[in-house]
Amino acid sequence: MRAYLMSLAVAAPALLLGLSACGNTPTASTESPVASKTNAVGAAAIGAERLIASNSEPGSWLLAGGDYREQRFSQLDQINETTVSGLGLAWYADIDTERGQESTPVIVDGVMYLTTAWSMVKAYDIHSGSLLWAYDPAIDRAKGADACCDVVNRGVAAWNGKIYVGVLDGRLIALDGKTGKVVWEKQTTDTTLPYTITGVPRIVKGKVIIGNGGAEYRVRGYVTAYDAETGEQAWRWYSVPGDPALPQEQPELKDIALPTWNGEWWKLGGGGTLWDGMAYDPELDIIYVGTGNGTPWNQKYRSPGGGDNLFLSSIVALDPNTGKYIWHYQTTPGETWDYTATQPIMVADLNYPATSTSKGGKRRVVMQAPKNGFFYVLDAKTGKLISAEKFAPLTWATHVDKTTGRPVEIPEARFDKTGVAAIVAPAALGMHNWHPMAFSPETGLVYLPVHVSSSTYASPPNFEVNLKGWNTGIGFTAGQGVTPVVAGGAAPKTEAYLIAWDPIAMKEVWRVPNTDPRGGTGVMVTSGNLVFSGNHAGEFNAYDARTGKKVWSSPTQAKVVAAPATFTVDGEQQIAILVGARGLPIGQTRTVPTSANNSRILVYRLGGTATLPAEMPKATAGAPITVKIDPPLLTASNETVASGELLFGQNCAVCHGAAGVPAAGSIAPDLRYSALLHGRNLWNGAVRDGDRAQRGMPGFSTTLTAEQTDNILAYVIKRANDEKAAQEAAAKPKP
Ligand code: CA
């Protein structure tokens, strides 16, 4: 079977998509009760009632977030701590892109819909695993340069026979659920600005709600609702005030937000983009949205003199019918470290026990674990802070004052004010990023992927606008001969783990360390007392939801960053996970002709016996690559190298890493190993002329002088020679 498919794949890769379901003989299609009722397999016949009652239909996974409350909890329990040992691969399909795969599938009326890198959409028959249709929005690949953190997409929304996808270039597209043909498309952004969309559209009462990203560059954040049938704009809500000389679009921008800003932030948009987290409470009829960091990051250059800079880094409650502001809670006032609050948001009912000071009882809450490392529980109706505690060893604040609701900062962490470079935890990637968390109403626990990090933040003497790339206003190294202060006294070690968090006691209950510390991964929890989550080591695992004990594991051949979904096929529970991220797990080789990082959708069932291919077919397998460090000799002066270091920190480090060492999970290459170091013409082609714009490296000819890019080259050659010397020293036998 495998040999047949692979030889076919070599001959005709385009056919592979439709034929890559392996190992499971298609069975006669017995329609699910809902599908029978509507007689519409593949119709995505979703309306308001079906979405609100999604918990009564556990055989489907109707929203990427599991349900409107985004709990990513399933009542299915056939796969449980007793039966899970028999869980095996039912089928898989190869994905034809090779960047990060971040989407959770939506499964409705017999069809699984998912998105891949470059905002492509695919629909699979859940009975056979065969591809029903695929849609490619044909994004100009140069647009990848506007995506801070890879050309990813986190999934679709389904409504009334249509499938909705937000596209990297700012389009919102409605597709026919049966055919994948475009029904309508709408440009939601100004195409002259570096806006991107990577998030999932949410649909409330016939309105598609979509945000955008770009706060690393120079945009103003907003979220927009469109009529799901026509694409006509219904409302738009801006997260930060515009030019104060002009009328503000919303009363709260003028009354609440504007007084918290200084300077000329609007010239760079101010940031505050809403690129991921949202949740809807159908009973309160409120949609909760999360806002991002400021532009530039460094508050000294964004809003000189300080201020809270509302509504950056906030959870905001909006009326989904009108977009009207209801309340907000700001997690990081005056943020200056890229501490967004766009992370996943969750609505839940928590049962508080009676105490000496409170009679306890059920409360409807909103929960979030944003980048800044605090876990927040807010009253869903009023936004009042119920609790906020550290879920990770952050060093920018000591605690959150429960009376004021404000964090108490550690003074040296605020490098923008002190002018002294500081090592602060977390780094810009956050203690928790977009990776979905899950909540089980049965255990009362939140399952949260944590990624501990720290970084040097320095305030360079000047800030110049970069029209082609990032505008952080931050140096990521302290500079030659400068020792940064360490906020909080010590920086935590970099590690990744999954925790179970009690949101009432606000305490960690159990913890499972990740075998590979490089980054987070998504989570799902089920009534089978199981938590499902992958990792960067190439495993898909199940844990006992009450104890954290690992009860099952399966190799994925790929890094896993997305979250799983679960559903039934003819009454039998199955589990789906999309795999593939930057690079391969350590020790893993390529096994997919269409994707260098082994991107695939994997579907599991009890008794499944399908297997992943062990190796690439001979015709396409390449020789193993060993990368040797081989820089030219350093001939530049110390002054040139020092100038290059400063410029590198301001212009290159955000992607290529502090001191030229890319951060874990970075999509940018390690320049110390680059062949470009061997010729100024080669270097300038990529760095100045934009030869690699299609691959995400913008040209810097309008923002940096030729002397400046020469100095950066000298600095990278210096760093490469440092590394070469270190490797040679390490290889020498010890006396
Ligand atoms: Ca950011």
**pLDDT, tens only, 166-216:** 999 999 999 999 999 999 999 999 999 999 999 999 999 999 999 999 999
Q: Check if the beta carbon of residue 272 is closer than 8 Å to that of residue 291.
A: yes
Strand, helix or coil at 225? strand
Contacting residues for 366 by C-beta, under 8 A, at least 6 apart: 279, 288, 315, 317, 345, 346, 347, 376, 377, 378, 379, 380, 383
Task: Dump pLDDT digits (tens) for 128-159.
Answer: 999 999 999 999 988 988 998 899 999 999 99
Tell how far the Cα of 331 is from the centroid of ligand 1, in angstroms: 15
* Average pLDDT of the chain, as a whole number: 90
Task: Dump pLDDT digits (tens) for 249-292.
Answer: 999 999 999 999 999 999 999 999 999 999 999 999 999 999 99
Q: Check if the beta carbon of residue 78 is closer than 8 Å to that of residue 528.
A: yes
Q: What are phi and psi of 686, to 5 degrees?
A: -80, -45
Strand, helix or coil at 683? helix
For 638-731, CATH number? 1.10.760.10
Q: Which helix (H) or strand (E) holds 252?
A: helix 251-252
Name the token pair of 480.
């030659």
pLDDT band at 425 (very low <50, low <70, confident <90, very high): very high
Name the token pair of 370.
């944003």
- Rounded Cα gap, residues 450 and 429, in angstroms: 11
Question: What is the 8-class DSSP label of residue 282?
Answer: T
Query: Which residues are the active-site residues?
Result: 338
pLDDT of residue 518: 76
pLDDT of residue 206: 97
The mean per-residue pLDDT over the stretch 634-638 comes to 89
**Other beta carbons within 10 Å of 27:** 11
pLDDT of residue 703: 80
Q: Which residue has the tokens 């918990």?
A: 55
Domain limits of the chain?
638-731
The mean per-residue pLDDT over the stretch 711-721 comes to 94
Name the token pair of 393.
């060893």
- Rounded Cα gap, residues 467 and 448, in angstroms: 37
Strand, helix or coil at 16? helix
- Rounded Cα gap, residues 140 and 118, in angstroms: 10
Tell how far the Cα of 271 is from the centroid of ligand 1, in angstroms: 9
Tell how far the Cα of 683 is from the centroid of ligand 1, in angstroms: 28
pLDDT of residue 664: 60
Q: Check if the beta carbon of residue 366 is closer than 8 Å to that of residue 381.
A: no
Tell how far the Cα of 212 is from the centroid of ligand 1, in angstroms: 12
Tell how far the Cα of 723 is from the centroid of ligand 1, in angstroms: 30
Task: Dump pLDDT digits (tens) for 462-486.
Answer: 999 998 889 999 998 888 889 999 9
The mean per-residue pLDDT over the stretch 601-623 comes to 78
Over 60: is that where the pLDDT of 28 sits? no
Tell how far the Cα of 293 is from the centroid of ligand 1, in angstroms: 5
Name the token pair of 285.
């009829």
Sort residue 107 into left (φ over 0), alpha (ψ -120 to 50) or beta: beta
CA distances from 204 to 3, 62, 226, 573 (A): 47, 13, 10, 28
Rounded to 5°, angle at Cα 353 from 351 and 355: 150
- Rounded Cα gap, residues 478 and 735, in angstroms: 35
Rounded to 5°, angle at Cα 321 from 316 and 326: 30
Rounded to 5°, angle at Cα 276 from 169 and 129: 80
pLDDT of residue 702: 79
Which parts of 170-294 are beta strand (E)? 171-176, 182-187, 202-204, 207-210, 222-227, 233-238, 278-281, 286-290
pLDDT band at 628 (very low <50, low <70, confident <90, very high): confident
Tell how far the Cα of 269 is from the centroid of ligand 1, in angstroms: 14
Question: What is the 8-class DSSP label of residue 253?
Answer: I
Q: Check if the beta carbon of residue 644 is closer than 8 Å to that of residue 715.
A: yes
Closest by CA to 200, choosing from 290, 109, 271, is: 290
At how many degrees (to 10) do helices 638-651 and 706-731 cross?
100
Tell how far the Cα of 238 is from the centroid of ligand 1, in angstroms: 17
The mean per-residue pLDDT over the stretch 107-127 comes to 97
CA atoms within 13 A of residue 320's CA, in its CB half-sphere: 23
Tell how far the Cα of 307 is from the centroid of ligand 1, in angstroms: 19
- Rounded Cα gap, residues 58 and 72, in angstroms: 11
Task: Dump pLDDT digits (tens) for 307-360.
Answer: 999 999 999 999 999 999 999 999 999 999 999 999 999 999 999 999 998 899
